[in-house]
Amino acid sequence: MTTRRTFLAAAAAGTAFAGTTRTFRYSEIETRIARRDFRGITKEDLGTPALMVDRALLERNLSHMSGHCRDTGISLRAHCKIHKSVDIAQRQVALGSLGICCATIAECELMVGAGIRNVLHTCQPAGKNKIWRAVELAAQDPTFMVVADDPLTVDLLDQAAAARRIKMTLLPDIYAGLTRHGMAPGDPGVALAKRIDSSKNLRLGGLMAYSGVASHTHGWETRREQSRKDVTPMIETAAACRKAGLNTAILTGGSTGTYNIDGEIGLTELQAGSFVFMDTAYMKIGGKSDATRYGDFQPSLTVLTTVISRNHPNQATIDAGNKAMLRPTDQVKDRPDMVIENQGAEYGILRWKDGDELKLGQRLELYTSNLDMTTNCYDRYYVCDGENVVDVWPIMGRSGAVQR
Ligand SMILES: Cc1ncc(COP(=O)(O)O)c(C=O)c1O
């Protein structure tokens, strides 16, 4: 029971909550986390905004994807750009992922440094800094691979690999509908593959085609058509490469949206990423059996936020704003009726017409609109079983860069 004396003592310690008898100091929680002693820590104890991972839903997503790959014969090399977490990558590898895909050279350094083998860098390293870091990683781990969509990159990597006295593996990145990257399919793609193959210090590992347009196309049949249209030119380029005696063992691409489509088109492996957490953009694309909702994977990631002002009817202010990457397209968990607005760096506004009023200090959870952007803001995941925090996993630090 909270007496006036215990309340005042708690208040002096900065931890008083009317009606609260437990007095966890935040610093104690930090010490406990450092000791990995999570007993008794609940969501209520955490500072907000903070990232929550529902352990059961995450595990369901991971096992659904690995079960699909096992059953259909396509391999998985899961993309880590969404989670930037060694803990999650290790779980994916334990469940059968061949290795891990990375979007940035710093992600590659994190994963290779953590001992994860068969890492594929799905963005070509450009400029001296990234060329050298890529070659250093290949020297550290010969299973590390990168893609290239330009002969200049091939030549620079060949020279850097020669200077480092190693041989490294490259895959031509073939255009698949996204103008941000990719060498043209057909003769230019075959020429790039030949250039890699004939470079003394490089080896050809196969080809990549990532169809980012198909991934978020609404409607499963339309998505299937889009993916076929975007990826088939790479499959044909691979056939021409094979005819020319070139190695095409790896044909990689695909996404969460097309995971149950790309095997039939001819990819040998998937680089899907978002399926671990899911975001509001993905939840809307529709699945094979349900056109209204993409229910193959469950939303396992939320931003925990607190109501910090309640002075107007049917409106509440929360402590997640622009700095927490709040978007009007985010959704409040269990309150689909609520509309979200940005109200500044540290503030968001929730509005609703009918239904329960929110209370000052109340906790809510938000589904985010863009996983990569959200996870990039935080430095840890709180892994939860219901209200209980059962683990804390670090997210890759930024070390001076906006994103790494
Ligand atoms: C090159 C590449 N491959 C794979 C993916 C993973 O796609 P998703 O998160 O949609 O599964 C992405 C995502 O942006 C990507 O850029």
Predicted confidence (pLDDT) per residue in 223-270, tens digit: 999 999 999 999 999 999 999 999 999 999 999 999 999 999 999 999
| Pairwise CA distance, residues 153 & 125, whole Å | 7
For 56-283, CATH gives 3.20.20.10
Indicate whether 91 pLDDT > 70. Answer: yes
- Give residue 102 CA to ligand 1 midpoint distance, Å: 9
- Give residue 292 CA to ligand 1 midpoint distance, Å: 22
- Give residue 273 CA to ligand 1 midpoint distance, Å: 6
- What's the whole-number average pLDDT of the chain? 93
| Pairwise CA distance, residues 248 & 201, whole Å | 18
- pLDDT for 355: 79
Indicate whether 139 pLDDT > 90. Answer: yes
Indicate whether 374 pLDDT > 80. Answer: yes
- Give residue 55 CA to ligand 1 midpoint distance, Å: 22
With a 6 A CB cut-off, is 195 part of the ligand 1 pocket?
no
Angle at alpha carbon of residue 182, lines to 243 and 84, rounded to 5°: 115
Site to probe by mutation for ligand 1, drawn from 175, 271, 275 as the one with most ligand atoms within 8 Å of Cβ, is 271
Classify domain 4-54+299-394 by CATH architecture: Beta Barrel (2.40)
Q: Identify the residue whose C-alpha is closest to ligand 1 atom 4.
A: 271
| Pairwise CA distance, residues 180 & 177, whole Å | 9
Site to probe by mutation for ligand 1, drawn from 173, 210, 296, 300 as the one with most ligand atoms within 8 Å of Cβ, is 210
Q: What are the tens digits of pLDDT across the range 350-364?
A: 999 987 889 999 999
Phi, psi of 262 (to 5 degrees): -70, -25
Domain ranges of the chain: 4-54+299-394, 56-283
- Give residue 134 CA to ligand 1 midpoint distance, Å: 20
Report the phi/psi class of residue 245: left, alpha or beta, with left for phi > 0 and alpha for psi in -120 to 50. left
User: CB atoms < 10 A from the CB of 71, how many?
Assistant: 8
- pLDDT for 215: 97
Site to probe by mutation for ligand 1, drawn from 62, 79, 296 as the one with most ligand atoms within 8 Å of Cβ, is 79
- pLDDT for 22: 59
With a 6 A CB cut-off, is 124 part of the ligand 1 pocket?
no
Q: Give percent of the chain with pLDDT exceeding 70.
A: 94
- Give residue 209 CA to ligand 1 midpoint distance, Å: 11
- Give residue 142 CA to ligand 1 midpoint distance, Å: 24
